[in-house]
Amino acid sequence: MTESVILDVAYEGDDLFVGRVFKNKHDCKVKIVVHAINRRFSYKNERSNYDLVVVRCVPDACPWRAYVARMEDSEYFQVRTATLVHSCPVDVRSQFHHQATTSVISEIMRSRYAGSGRGPNPIGVIRAMLQEHSVNMSYWKAWRARELAIESVKGSDADSYSLPAYLHLLKAANSGTVASI
């Protein structure tokens, strides 16, 4: 059981299916948004609490729905039941780009800021989101998403000046070292 959970968690695609496992609730919510953006539909949170996420398509008549619950004694969330077909007209689903918040865009773009490269500038983020996900956004939204992506990959500027943490690591690595502020 544990091995299958680990394999499911390693899957980074945007497909939803019964049995799909997410790393945590945040990962679950981001992957559902990316799923909706890529399939060009809007959904709303029907219910969400510490142990549960229930989402459904915006039109009440549409059967699309996903029920995701926390797995016992873990941070993992698993899709328990899902109806993944739409019966609503395409024009009703056209507001999908509203779900592309700065935090979601930063999660999508995060891999582009890993490593030693600088990653795309805000104009590059706008172009990438438009080409890959058909989402148009303002320069400000792209700039903020870029900053969040860089911070999640490389840490914040304030964190890099955390002297007490550095002194603790210095003492731990070199026994007998005395360091104080």
Assess whether 85 and 128 both reside in one domain.
no
Could you tell me the residue range of the domain that residue 175 belongs to?
Answer: 100-181
Query: 93, 122, 145 — which closes off a domain?
Result: 93
Torsion of Cα atoms, 129 then 85 then 43 then 45, to 10°:
-130
Which residue in this structure is represented by tokens 């008549």?
Answer: 61
Percentage of residues in the chain having pLDDT higher than 90: 33
Shared domain for 64 and 110, answered yes or no, is: no
Supply the pTM of this predicted model: 0.72
Report the pLDDT value the prediction gives residue 122, as an integer from 0 to 100. 93
Q: Helix or strand or coil: residue 98?
A: helix
The predicted model gives 3-23 an average pLDDT of 72
> Quick one: average pLDDT of 67-87?
93
Same domain, 57 and 111: no
Tens of pLDDT along 102-123?
Answer: 888 888 888 788 776 678 899 9
Question: Distance (Å, rounded) from C-alpha 27 to C-alpha 33?
Answer: 10
Residue range 14-18: average pLDDT? 87
Same domain, 85 and 122: no
